[in-house]
């Protein structure tokens, strides 16, 4: 359906029918994300070799509404759910039984499961409910920055989160070091609720910095953390977070 608006000056503006705020298939979901606002799933949706994107300036609140959303991509430097710098993405679940699974599977230059593409930092990511499982591609975080990129602010206040970084990437946090090897810190991470199982890839933190990235400020309160893969001499969820409520660790991968 096409809507036509006749303006007083005699100009005609033609626009497509607004995207559904309760998408039941992939096409409706993509359109709803482009417009921003609250997007409430109306059915289970699965898509392979695709990317779902949040547009900067058009925040998206994804209400799983008890449904499952599964997205995977094998594209080079491509995240499954792209949240670029300047974008804001929130996952919640009004019914409590839904799950979002996002995986970047490229073996040499991937993006985050949820967050930035390769060589692209991430915007603001919040998880307040539902079940979230995110797997990063090579050099990328499960949730956060893509390869050679830092993460934006990440907040977990509820739900169940499983995040697995690709080789060199954090489970939750940044990808591996930026081009040129310039030392950086991962972006802020705040966890106030939920159950977290974060596993870094080779030389990456469970929560914090990827390979050769210093840990930024990590704040944790009232949450159950499942131990990440501990790696001697490297940052992990255990040595950056569980020992205090707020930690800024100088540890970095090698």
For residues 135 and 113, give the distance between their C-alpha atoms in angstroms, rounded to a whole number.
Answer: 5
User: If you search the block for the tokens 């940052």, which residue do you land on?
Assistant: 235
Give ∠ CA 223-224-227 in degrees, rounded to 5. 130
Whether 127 has a pLDDT exceeding 70, the answer reads yes
Lowest mean pLDDT among 82-86, 114-118, 160-164, 222-226: 222-226
pLDDT at site 185: 86
Instruction: Check: CB of residue 15 under 8 Å from CB of residue 22.
Output: no
For residues 140 and 145, give the distance between their C-alpha atoms in angstroms, rounded to a whole number.
Answer: 6
State pTM to two decimals: 0.82
Rounded to the nearest 5 percent, the helix, strand and coil shares of the chain are: 5, 35, 55
Sign of the CA dihedral 197, 143, 81, 83? Answer: positive
pLDDT at site 17: 39
* Count of residues making up the chain: 254
Q: Phi and psi (nearest 5°) for 202?
A: -50, 120
């Amino acid at each position: 359906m096409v809507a036509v608006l006749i303006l007083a000056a005699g100009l005609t503006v033609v626009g497509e029918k607004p995207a559904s705020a309760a998408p039941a298939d992939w096409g409706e979901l993509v359109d709803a994300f482009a417009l921003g606002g609250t997007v409430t799933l109306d059915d289970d949706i699965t898509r392979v070799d695709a990317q779902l994107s949040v547009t900067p300036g058009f925040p998206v609140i994804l209400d799983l509404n008890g449904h499952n959303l599964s997205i995977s991509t094998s594209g080079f430097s491509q995240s499954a759910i792209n949240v670029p710098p300047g974008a804001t993405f929130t996952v919640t679940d009004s019914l409590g039984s839904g799950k979002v699974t996002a995986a970047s599977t490229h073996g040499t230059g991937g993006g985050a499961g949820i967050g930035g593409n390769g060589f692209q930092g991430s915007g603001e990511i919040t998880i307040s409910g539902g079940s979230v499982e995110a797997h990063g591609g090579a050099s990328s975080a499960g949730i956060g920055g893509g390869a050679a990129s830092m993460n934006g602010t990440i907040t977990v206040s509820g739900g169940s989160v499983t995040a697995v970084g690709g080789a060199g990437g954090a489970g939750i946090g940044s990808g591996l070091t930026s081009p040129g090897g310039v030392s950086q810190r991962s972006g802020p991470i705040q966890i106030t609720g939920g159950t977290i199982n974060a596993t870094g890839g080779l030389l990456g933190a469970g929560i914090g910095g990827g390979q050769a990235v210093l840990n930024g400020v990590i704040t944790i309160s009232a949450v159950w953390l499942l131990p990440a893969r501990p790696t001697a001499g490297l940052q992990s969820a255990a040595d950056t977070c569980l020992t205090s409520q707020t930690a800024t660790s100088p540890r970095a991968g090698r």
